[in-house]
């Protein structure tokens, strides 16, 4: 059976949650005998990988623009291009996200036998980084994606609330998957790699960690304000890039007002060894995401046995349950990080409990089996 996965920037994962998901899902499904193709952003011909461990990669032929608005249009154009190109010759399309939901009627026009699955992601239209027109279009696309899809996939049980009752019979819950990473030692070899990203001295188990796209709905301003107001000796390491120059200036102005060198911005890091070393050796992980679904960076923090301080919302509580410390605003977070710094040993139980919970509920074996069973239930059995 031929399956195309569209809607991400492609694999290997170098951007966000959908890319991480596409890589993990395809790695597991290809072992089960599926013929898989992943749509990818433009790459120069000399650096293109056509086959990644048995997974075919198909590239958009146009370079991405640098302008933000043109970039959004470019991404939508890329998704529509692949809907047209791949629908004719595939049995299943798994579409990640709802940004071009109004165009998900295309596969059926080109191939009556094809089945379309759509992962509706999070509450996209509530993201403040989008203007009013973008948010309105996202809501419309959400509604139409659900209407046109054969199967609607919610990666969080709480996201099923956002599907109309009349479409609940074709909506199922299948989350992201997570693998238990190997332990990465805090040693000279890996610290030399880390030194490529910062000259700041970072000590083992003596820093707070944030891993996120640096945008308002991830509450970077809340986290930074809480950290700056707190009475702390422990630095905070932030991994990720700003998606808005205006928001970046707001955060930089906040930091300058406190004249604080204790926040260390490393930008995006895609070296898995460095990422896992930083996750596995922090004092605590701070998670500000507020308009998920299930967020891969939260799963990665949990599987790394972190003390987790998470924004108080239904999506984060679904993942962590009682095994995290929740905050609603910067004042609460300020108090919590001060308490963690004073006595991190008081939180040992929750970091091991959240690890065990995520290991059992979100294993890639469980998630990929769920996808395989779903495809089989649609009459798309294949030989293993």
Same domain? For 219 and 173 the reply is no
- Are residues 228 and 116 part of one domain? no
* pLDDT tens readout for residues 286-323: 999 998 788 889 999 999 999 999 999 999 999 999 99
Same-domain check for residues 305 and 370: no
Q: Which of 242, 345, 326 is closest to 288 using CA atoms?
A: 326
- Contact status, residue 198 vs residue 235, Cβ threshold 8 Å: no
Does residue 384 carry a pLDDT above 50? Answer: no
Cα separations in angstroms, 223 against 283, 321, 365: 16, 21, 34
Tens digits of residue pLDDT in 53-98 = 999 999 999 999 988 778 889 999 999 999 999 999 999 999 999 9
In a domain, 115, yes or no: yes
Phi and psi (nearest 5°) for 219?
A: 55, 40
Spatial separation of the C-alpha atoms in residues 301 and 308, rounded to whole Å = 7
Domains of the chain: total? 2
Q: pLDDT per residue over 147-193, tens digit each?
A: 999 999 999 999 998 999 999 999 999 998 998 899 999 999 999 99
Question: Do 239 and 348 reside in the same domain of the chain?
Answer: yes
Phi, psi values for residue 40, rounded to 5°:
-135, 155
Residues 96 and 47 in one domain: yes
Q: What is the rounded CA–CA span in Å between residue 211 and residue 202?
A: 16
* Same domain? 129 vs 116: yes
Cβ burial 53-67 (10 Å sphere, 16+ → b, else e)? eebbbbbbeeeeeee
pLDDT score recorded for residue 354: 97
* Domain CATH for 79: 3.40.50.2000
- Rounded Cα distance between 82 and 77, Å, is 9
Residue 211 within a domain: yes
Q: Distance between CA 185 and CA 207 in Å, rounded?
A: 16
Q: Give a yes or no: residue 80 inside a domain.
A: yes
First and final C-alpha spacing in the chain: 10
Model pLDDT, residue 211: 96
Q: Is residue 200 part of a domain?
A: yes
Statement to judge: residues 6 and 153 lie in one domain:
yes
In whole angstroms, what is the distance from residue 112 CA to residue 25 CA? 26
Q: What's the pLDDT at 323?
A: 97
d(CA 261, CA 256): 9
Of the pLDDT bands very low, low, confident and very high (cuts 50, 70, 90), residue 379 is low
Site of tokens 């952003």: 41
3-state secondary structure of 151: strand
Backbone phi, psi, residue 77, to 5°:
-60, -40
The answer to whether 181 and 303 are in contact (CB under 8 A) is: yes
The answer to whether residue 182 is domain-embedded is: no
Record the tokens describing residue 114, joined without a space. Answer: 């094809």
What pLDDT digit, counting tens, does each position of 94-103 carry? 999 999 999 9
Q: Which residues does 226 contact at the CB level (< 8 Å), separation at least 6?
A: 327, 330, 331, 332, 333, 334, 337
Domain presence at residue 315: yes
Q: Does residue 196 share a domain with residue 170?
A: no
Residues 322-377 pLDDT 10s: 999 999 999 999 999 999 999 999 999 999 999 999 999 999 999 999 999 998 78
**Structural domain of residue 109, as residue ranges?**
2-177+363-377
């Amino acid at each position: 059976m031929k399956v195309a996965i569209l809607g991400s920037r492609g694999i290997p994962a170098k951007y966000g949650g959908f890319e991480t998901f596409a890589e993990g899902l395809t790695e597991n499904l290809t072992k089960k005998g599926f013929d898989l193709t992943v749509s990818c952003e433009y790459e120069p011909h000399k650096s293109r990988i056509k086959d990644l461990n048995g997974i075919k990669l198909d590239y958009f032929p146009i370079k991405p623009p640098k302008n933000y608005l043109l970039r959004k249009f470019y991404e939508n154009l890329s998704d529509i291009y692949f809907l047209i190109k791949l629908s004719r010759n595939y049995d299943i399309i798994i579409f990640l996200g709802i940004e071009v939901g109004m165009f998900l009627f295309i596969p059926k026009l080109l191939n009556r036998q094809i089945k379309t699955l759509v992962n509706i992601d999070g509450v996209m239209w509530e993201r403040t980084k989008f203007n009013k027109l973008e948010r309105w279009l996202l809501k419309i696309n959400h509604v139409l994606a659900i209407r046109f899809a054969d199967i609607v996939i919610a990666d969080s049980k709480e996201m099923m609330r956002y599907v109309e009752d009349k479409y609940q019979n074709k909506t199922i819950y299948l989350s992201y998957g997570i693998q238990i990473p190997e332990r990465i030692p805090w040693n000279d070899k890996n610290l030399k790699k880390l030194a490529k990203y910062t000259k700041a001295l970072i000590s083992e188990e003596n820093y707070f960690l944030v891993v996120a796209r640096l945008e308002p709905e991830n509450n970077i301003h809340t986290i930074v304000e809480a950290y700056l107001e707190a009475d702390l000796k422990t630095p905070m390491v932030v991994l990720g890039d700003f998606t808005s120059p205006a928001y970046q200036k707001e955060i930089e102005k906040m930091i300058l007002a406190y004249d604080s060198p204790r926040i260390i911005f490393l930008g995006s890091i895609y070296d898995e060894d460095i990422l896992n070393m930083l996750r596995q050796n922090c004092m605590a992980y701070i998670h500000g995401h507020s308009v998920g679904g299930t967020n891969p960076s939260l799963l990665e923090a949990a599987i790394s046995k972190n003390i987790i301080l998470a924004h108080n919302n239904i999506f984060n509580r679904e993942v962590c349950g009682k095994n995290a410390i929740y905050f609603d605003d910067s004042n609460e977070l300020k108090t919590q990080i001060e308490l963690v710094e004073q006595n991190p040993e008081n939180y040992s139980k929750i970091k091991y409990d959240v690890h065990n919970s995520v290991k059992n509920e979100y294993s890639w074996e469980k998630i990929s089996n769920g996808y395989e069973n779903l495809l089989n239930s649609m009459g798309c059995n294949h030989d293993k």
